[in-house]
Amino acid sequence: MNADVLAVLTNLLGDERVSEKEADRVLHGRDQSSHPLHLPDAVVWPQNTAEVSAILRLAHEHRVPIVGWGAGSSLEGNPIPVQGGIVVDFQQMNQILAVHAADFQTVVQPGIFYKDMNKILGQHGLFFAPDPGANASIGGMIANNAAGTRTVKYGATRDNVLALEVVLANGEVIRTGSRSVKQSAGYDLTHLIIGSEGTLGLVTEATLKLAPLPEHFSAVLATFGSTAVAAAVVYQIIGSGLGPAALELLDAAAITYMNQDESINLPVAPTLLMEFHGPTTETLQSELQLVREICVDGGATYFSAGVGRDERDRLWHGRHQLGETLFRAHPGEKYLITDVAVPISHYPEVAAYTADLISSMGLKGALFGHAGDGNLHTVIFAPETSKDADLQWFNDQVVQKALHLEGTCTGEHGVGIGKQKYMVHEHGEAAIEVMRQIKQVLDPHNILNPGKVLG
């Protein structure tokens, strides 16, 4: 990036919203994945769509790479500026622009953080349901099609976005979708942008579908003799027609890590952590009775339902903090995060296979996942002196197993850097070529997050 580009940016945004400082560049040079640091040439903080459009027109003219930035909580290197250039940080575009409570919708800017937004929406008795755990930005959630614990009931981000405002690589601004829940007019550009990791355009506004806050809820715990048995019960619960709002699988190691929080004291065994919502206590109780029967018939060694709000909040806080707890327990060690998903009927097989692989390789770490929608994660560690190939071999085996079971190499973290090598195997050369053609049309100079998704 030459001095002329920097001068134009400074003239456009002012000195305080353009930075070449090393501290700012380092802060925007890596996410929460294990992928290495890459420094951008500059960081900018736009405040409106017009400024984003002007930044992209400038970058398009001078062939400068552009990478969007939300909270930096991605787990696959998605926003790392591997070719330098300009990082566009949306921190100052963080407003709720409208709340259409009667339609269960809100219109927001991309820089607003998910948890902060839901605190405000809660005043209207509403919430945005996708829950990635981290306090991710809405723009980041849209870029990666984030999901999380509540996907089994409410769907992923893609299922909860109605319309977008998007700035294309050449600075042109387009609007996709509408506030109508049913839409059949033309190509579905909204869903094309969602999950594209900022490689096709930068989102500057989003219309989101909301859900009413549940009137009644209950957390449920069930433990089992093995991870495979627990995973098999997941299939039985979903197959019974029950509608859990969350259904998480945690192996014994994950529970051990969670128990490091003094407020949590769970039996150390493979565990299903569930939550059910209901309009009345009667309907909720009938669901809880059925899930108890399924768990007991499936070999549960312990079952508890109807825990209070404080205990429920502690359990979910412990689950959401599990990644951070793991990293604190293994300071300075190499790590790898996996993220595969399979059809729910194959979930027991992929969970058992992964658990056996962890055991046979003598790896440290934990297995857990959003079991209700077939998503499985592991976080594994190795000494700093070990070879990266060992961790990569583990990842390769888990992904190959998921693809063999008609699943995907990434359920919610996105392709980013680490999953590119699996794309052809999952989609085939013909589909990848179509993706390349779409990228070429929308970003002919390959300035938008280059080096990601398709490489």
**Domain CATH for 397:** 3.30.70.2740
pLDDT mean values, one per 10 residues, the chain (455 residues): 92 97 97 94 98 98 98 95 98 98 98 97 96 93 95 95 98 98 95 98 98 90 95 93 93 95 91 92 90 96 84 87 93 92 95 95 93 95 80 95 98 94 96 97 98 91
Cβ(177)–Cβ(206) under 8 Å? no
197 and 110 fall within a common domain: yes
314 and 336 fall within a common domain: no
Please choose, from the candidates 201, 172, 158, the residue with its C-alpha nearest in 3D space to the C-alpha of residue 449: 201
CATH of the domain at 304: 3.30.70.2190
Could you give the number of structural domains in the chain?
4
133 and 173 fall within a common domain: yes
Within a domain: 385: yes
130 and 182 fall within a common domain: yes
305 and 341 fall within a common domain: no
Q: In angstroms, what CA-CA distances link 235 with 163, 280, 296, 371, 424?
A: 34, 26, 14, 9, 29
If you search the block for the tokens 């190509």, which residue do you land on? Answer: 187
CATH of the domain at 158: 3.30.465.10
Q: In the listed set 62, 89, 116, which residue is the last one of a domain according to the structure?
A: 89
Within a domain: 453: no
d(CA 187, CA 196): 16
Within a domain: 197: yes
Token pair of 284, please?
Answer: 């909720």
Token pair of 267, please?
Answer: 């039996």
278 and 355 fall within a common domain: no
CATH of the domain at 39: 3.30.43.10
d(CA 17, CA 98): 26
Within a domain: 445: no
Give DSSP secondary structure letters for 139-173: HHHHHHT---TTHHHH--GGGGEEEEEEE-TTS-E
Sign of the C-alpha dihedral computed for residues 177, 183, 185 and 189 taken in this order = positive
Q: In the listed set 51, 68, 89, which residue is the last one of a domain according to the structure?
A: 89
339 and 265 fall within a common domain: no
Q: Give me the pLDDT at residue 387, please.
A: 74
105 and 194 fall within a common domain: yes
- Supply the DSSP symbol for 429: H
Within a domain: 434: no
d(CA 358, CA 323): 17
Q: Give me the pLDDT at residue 382, please.
A: 87
Q: Give me the pLDDT at residue 62, please.
A: 97
What single letter denotes the amino acid at residue 206?
A
56 and 163 fall within a common domain: no
Q: Which residues of 171-190 are buried (b: 16+ CB within 10 A; e: fewer)?
A: bebeebbeeeeeeeeeeebb
Within a domain: 171: yes
Within a domain: 425: no
Q: Which residues of 334-358 are buried (b: 16+ CB within 10 A; e: fewer)?
A: bbbbbbbbbebebbbbbbbbbbebb
Residue-range definition of the domain harbouring residue 102:
96-212
304 and 239 fall within a common domain: yes
Within a domain: 450: no
248 and 262 fall within a common domain: yes
Q: In the listed set 190, 212, 234, which residue is the last one of a domain according to the structure?
A: 212
144 and 198 fall within a common domain: yes
